[in-house]
Amino acid sequence: MLQPLRGITVIDLSRALAGPYCTALLADMGARIIKVESVNGGDTARQWPPFQDGHSLYFESVNRNKSSVCLDFYSAEGREILAGLLADADVLVENFKPGTLEKMGFPASRLEELNPGLVVGSVTGFGNTGPLKDDAGLDQVIQGMSGLMSVTGPGPGSGPGSGPGSAYRVGVPIVDITSGMVCAFGIVSALLGARNGERPGRVSTSLLETALNLSAFQGQKALSLGEAPAPQGNNHPVIAPYGMFATATESINIAVGSEKQWRAFCGLLGMPTAVEDPRFITGADRSANRDQLTELIEVALSAKPASEWVPLISEAGIPCGPIYNYIQALASEQVAALGLVQHSRRRDGSALPLLRGPLTLDGEASEILSSPPLLGEHTAQILMERGMTLDDVTRLEREGRLVCAPASAQVPETMGAQR
Instruction: Tell me the one-letter amino acid at 80.
Output: E
Q: Which of 225, 185, 177 is nearest to 203 (CA)?
A: 185
CA–CA dist 258, 266 (Å, integer): 12
DSSP string, 280-342: SSSHHHHHHTHHHHHHHHHHHHTTS-HHHHHHHHHHTT--EEE---HHHHHTSHHHHHHT-EE
H or E element, residue 22:
helix 18-28
Fold of 242-323: formyl-coa transferase, domain 3 (3.30.1540)
Catalytic residues: 236
DSSP string, 98-110: TTHHHHTT--HHH
- Read off the pLDDT of residues 13-25 as tens digits, 9 standing for 90 and up: 999 999 999 999 9
Q: Which residues pair with 37 in a beta bridge?
A: 70
For residue 315, how far is the Cα from the chain centroid?
32
What pLDDT score was predicted for residue 161? 52
Confidence of residue 259 (pLDDT cuts 50, 70, 90): very high
CA atoms within 13 A on the CB side of 151: 21
- Read off the pLDDT of residues 301-338 as tens digits, 9 standing for 90 and up: 999 999 999 999 999 999 999 999 999 999 999 999 99
Phi-psi region of 270 (alpha: psi -120 to 50; beta: other; left: phi over 0): left
Q: Which of 29, 43, 41 is nearest to 1 (CA)?
A: 29
Answer with the residue of higher pLDDT: 247 or 232.
247
CA–CA dist 205, 228 (Å, integer): 25
Q: Which residues pair with 321 in a beta bridge?
A: 253
> Per-domain residue ranges for the chain?
9-213+336-417, 242-323
- Read off the pLDDT of residues 47-91 as tens digits, 9 standing for 90 and up: 999 999 999 999 999 999 999 999 999 899 999 999 999 999 999
CA–CA dist 11, 94 (Å, integer): 9
Mean pLDDT of 135-154: 94
Q: Which residues pair with 9 in a beta bridge?
A: 32
34: helix, strand or coil: strand
Task: Evaluate if pTM is beyond 0.75.
Answer: yes
CA distances from residue 142 to 16, 145, 179, 395 in whole angstroms, order as listed? 15, 5, 11, 44
Confidence of residue 200 (pLDDT cuts 50, 70, 90): low
Report phi then psi at 254, rounded to 5. Answer: -130, 135
CA atoms within 13 A on the CB side of 123: 35
CA–CA dist 53, 37 (Å, integer): 22
Q: Which CATH superfamily is domain 9-213+336-417 in?
A: Crotonobetainyl-coa:carnitine coa-transferase; domain 1 (3.40.50.10540)
DSSP string, 71-123: E-TTSHHHHHHHHHHHHT-SEEEE-PPTTHHHHTT--HHHHHHH-TT-EEEEE
Whether residue 411 has pLDDT greater than 60 = no
Least confident stretch, 42-51, 189-198, 376-385: 189-198
What pLDDT score was predicted for residue 412? 45
396: helix, strand or coil: helix
